[in-house]
Structure 1
Amino acid sequence: MSGQELDVVAWIQVVDGRMLAVRARGRDRLYLPGGKRETGEDDWTALSREVREELGVELDPATFRELGVIRADAHDQPAYSRVRMACFTASYQGSMSATGEVDEFRYVGRSDHDLLAPAAGAALDLAVAHGLVP
């Protein structure tokens, strides 16, 4: 496995003490909504584009804030051994639906750790540390 690190942005959205996760087409684990930046994109632009593509909702720039950066083993990413994931929260507008490359979305709690890719599990721990998930 390569030693490269995959640099991504992710949206932490918590409702009723449970964190939003998505399953991308063909993947066996749940991930956070988000993904890689396109050339020239800042964190806000990349994250709002990815969330719009994956879930069909618009993030609110006035509520956008960073929760932290996590590093974890890459899952199902043959070209990378590690993931660097900058995690952000923001409120949203619109009706959420799985679109594009996402097959499903669901809200997960602490007991669902085994369903998550390593970086998503670390993000759940981050949400717990911030008091977002009990």
Structure 2
Amino acid sequence: MVALKTVGLLVVRDRKLLLAFSRNKQCFYLPGGKVDEGETEKGALCREIEEELHVQLTEEDLEYYTHITAPAFGEKRGVIMEQDCYLVHRDIEPKPAAEIGEIRFFSSDEYAEQSAQAPGAIAILKILQEAGLVD
């Protein structure tokens, strides 16, 4: 089994979670990505969010929220995503960039209607729903 160390950004508005549509993987997932060698988690997340959403964050904008483990969507069988998820504590105006085709806010039920669903997105939506943060 191979583990991918990743980070994800949690943006909740009106009891819905922001997800980004990857043109490469043809699925909505949590904005963020892999942590490169020598990067801190928060540094990697700031870099990924600037690349994907045209938003400049500082490490001080981010607060650790939770960790999820799930099969890595779009990767070979047996690849597991180990993702630390961070809340952002200021308003941001994300715009799709790079491989991101669209961004949208989802409730758990709305995401369940998607034809392709990332296991990590399902997991974090469940955690946020149990915490009363999303519908």
Q: Same fold (TM over 0.5)?
A: yes
Matches within 5 A, 1:106-125: 106-114=104-112, 115=114, 116-125=117-126
Give how far 1:60 is off: 4.7
TM-score, length-scaled by structure 1: 0.88
The answer on 1:91 being equivalent to 2:50 is: no
Which residue matches 1:47?
A: 45
Moved over 6 A (4+): none
Question: In structure 2, do the counterparts of structure 1 residues 133 and 67 end up closer, same or farther at CA, with 3 Å as the change threshold?
Answer: same
Which residue matches 1:128?
A: 129
The one-letter amino acid of 1:95's match is: E
Give how far 1:100 is off: 0.8
Give how far 1:118 is off: 0.3
Ranges in structure 2 where 5+ consecutive residues have no aligned partner: none
Range that drifts further, 88-97 or 19-28:
88-97
Range that drifts further, 117-126 or 93-102:
93-102
Q: What is the CA deviation profile of residues 48-84 of structure 1, one whole-angstrom value per residue up to 9, with x for unaligned ones? A: 1101100001225334211111111221112752111
TM-score, length-scaled by structure 2: 0.87
Q: Secondary structure at the match of 2:51?
A: helix
> In structure 1, what is the Cα distance between the partners aligned to 2:57 and 2:133?
18
Range that drifts further, 29-38 or 52-61:
52-61
Question: In structure 2, do the counterparts of structure 1 residues 96 and 133 end up closer, same or farther at CA, with 3 Å as the change threshold?
Answer: same
Which residue matches 1:5?
A: 3
Give the number of aligned pairs.
132
Range that drifts further, 73-82 or 23-32:
73-82
Q: 1:58–1:93: 8 Å Cα contact kept in structure 2?
A: no
